[in-house]
Amino acid sequence: MELAVYNINGQDTGKKVTLNDEVFAIPEPNEHVVYLSVKQYLGNQRQGTHKSKERSEIMGSTKKLGRQKGGGGARHGDIKSPLFHGGGRVFGPRPRNYYTKLNKKVKDLARRSALTFKAQNNQIIVVEDFSFDAPKTKDFVAMTKALNVEGKKVMLVLNDINKNVYLSVRNVESASVCTARELNTYRVLDNRAMIVTESSIEVMNKF
C-alpha cells in the first residue's frame, strides 16, 4: 500500500511512502485481541487505591439501639449498621491491583490489527518531517486545518520527540503526540486521524 506525502501546508509533495502489508494490511485483523490489549492497557493505568469503610472500621458505639422486632422497620444492631446514614458500607471497594499480563505476540497482533483498521478507513495521513521554530499552538492548528482534520481527535506520531512540537500540541484538547516507538493499540485507536511523519513510517513498518 502506498500513501502520498504532504507538507504541513497540506500540499502534496509528490513523494510516496510504502506501508508494510504485514503491519498495515494483515489478512485477518483480530478484533478480540484488540479488545484484550485495550483492556489490559486501561487496567494497568488504574491505581486501585479505592477504599470505603465497613462497619468494623467505623467509630461508634456497639450498643444495640432498639429491640430486634416490632420497631416498624428493618432489624438492625448498633449505629454502625449499613442501614443508617454514616454506617459502614456492605462489600465496599478495597485496594486491589488491576495489572494483567498479555503475551508479546498477542499485543503485536493487536497493534497490527488496529493499524490495519486505520489504513482501511483512510485515517492515516503522512507528512514530511517538520519542526516548529518556537512552541506555537496556532501553527499546529493551522496544520490540522490544512490537512482537513481540524476539530477531529488527532494523534501526531513523530520519529523522535521534538520539544517545540510537543509544546505546540499539548494545549489542544483533541490532539496528542507520541513517538512511533511508544505506539500501542489503545493509542492507535484513540483518535479519528493519525498524522504520521515520514521517518516514523520506517519505524512502524517494522512492528
Query: CATH code at 159?
Result: 3.40.1370.10
**pLDDT at position 5:** 93
56 inside domain: no
pLDDT tens sequence across 159-176: 998 999 999 999 899 999
In the sheet with 124-127, reading across from the earlier edge strand, the strands are 12-18, 2-6, 124-127, 193-197, 154-158, 175-179
199 inside domain: yes
Q: Helices 104-120 & 31-45, crossing angle to 10 degrees?
A: 110
Q: What is the mean pLDDT of residues 87-104?
A: 95
Q: What is the mean pLDDT of residues 196-207?
A: 93
pTM of the full structure: 0.84
Q: Which helix (H) or strand (E) holds 3?
A: strand 2-6
Per-residue pLDDT band at 1 (split at 50, 70, 90): confident
Tell whether the model's pLDDT for residue 158 goes beyond 90.
yes
72 inside domain: no
Task: Judge whether 195 and 157 are in contact, CB under 8 Å.
Answer: yes
Q: What is the span of the domain harbouring residue 169? A: 2-47+102-204
83 inside domain: no
93 inside domain: no
64 inside domain: no
What share of the chain has pLDDT > 90, as a percent?
A: 93
pLDDT tens sequence across 123-143: 999 999 999 999 999 999 999
**pLDDT at position 39:** 97
- Between CA 160 and CA 6 the distance in angstroms is 19
- Between CA 29 and CA 49 the distance in angstroms is 36
- Tell me how many domains the chain contains: 1
62 inside domain: no
118 inside domain: yes
